[in-house]
Amino acid sequence: MAKAADPHTSSVTNIDGELVRRVQQGDKAAFDLLVRKYQQRIGKLVSRFISDRSEVEDVTQEAFIKAYRALPNFRGDSAFYTWLYRIATNTAKNYLVAAGRRPPRSDVDITSGATEQGFELVSDNSPEGEMASEEIRRTIHDALEQMPEELRMALSMCEFDGLTYDEIAEVMDCPIGTVRSRIFRARQSLDQKLRPIISTTEIEEVV
């Protein structure tokens, strides 16, 4: 049975599509609306690759400039944000290559990652609780560092950017089955690293 379309997602797509059509007809103010709508999300995406705030702002602006110039050729085969995401990712990577640098390995929010994967960080403020939370964060960080880039990117887009499997497949230019496999393997890798720590923490709390 086919999965019902998300009304909110459909509404967002329709609004973006209308704004894109207005831009293509010469309405620059419509593009300003798209920039305001997605600037924060694109800035956060770019900051996964680049740590310097001023560079993040420059690369984010460059990504929007590239998007504006390419909009006349945008046909709506994918959602606007998926298309913009791809442009921003490529812009950030190209910036680092031009500067002779490599993107950081860990490009997801560690605290959110633990929660999204079902591992709640210890919430109490005791020294023991803080130590346990720090150990979980460090373990996630190390797991992401060791994870192949394609697994880390797929997990990030799914868990933290809210992209669908179809959208991730478009961004990564691979079949949707490959996306499912990468996300499953990434989650499994995190589970294997975190499960012993979570189990130990739960035992200590009981004792």
**Confidence (pLDDT) at 180:** 96
Determine the Cα–Cα distance for residues 81 and 101; give it in Å rounded to an integer.
Answer: 27
Burial class of 39 by CB neighbour count within 10 A (0 to 12, 13 to 18, 19+): middle
Domains belonging to the chain, first-starting first, are 12-98 (1.10.1740.10), 110-206 (1.10.10.10)
**Confidence (pLDDT) at 31:** 96
pLDDT along the chain (207 residues), means of 10: 46 83 95 95 89 93 97 88 91 90 51 42 54 75 81 85 86 91 92 76 45
**Confidence (pLDDT) at 74:** 93
**Confidence (pLDDT) at 139:** 80
Overall pTM surpassing 0.85 (yes/no)? no
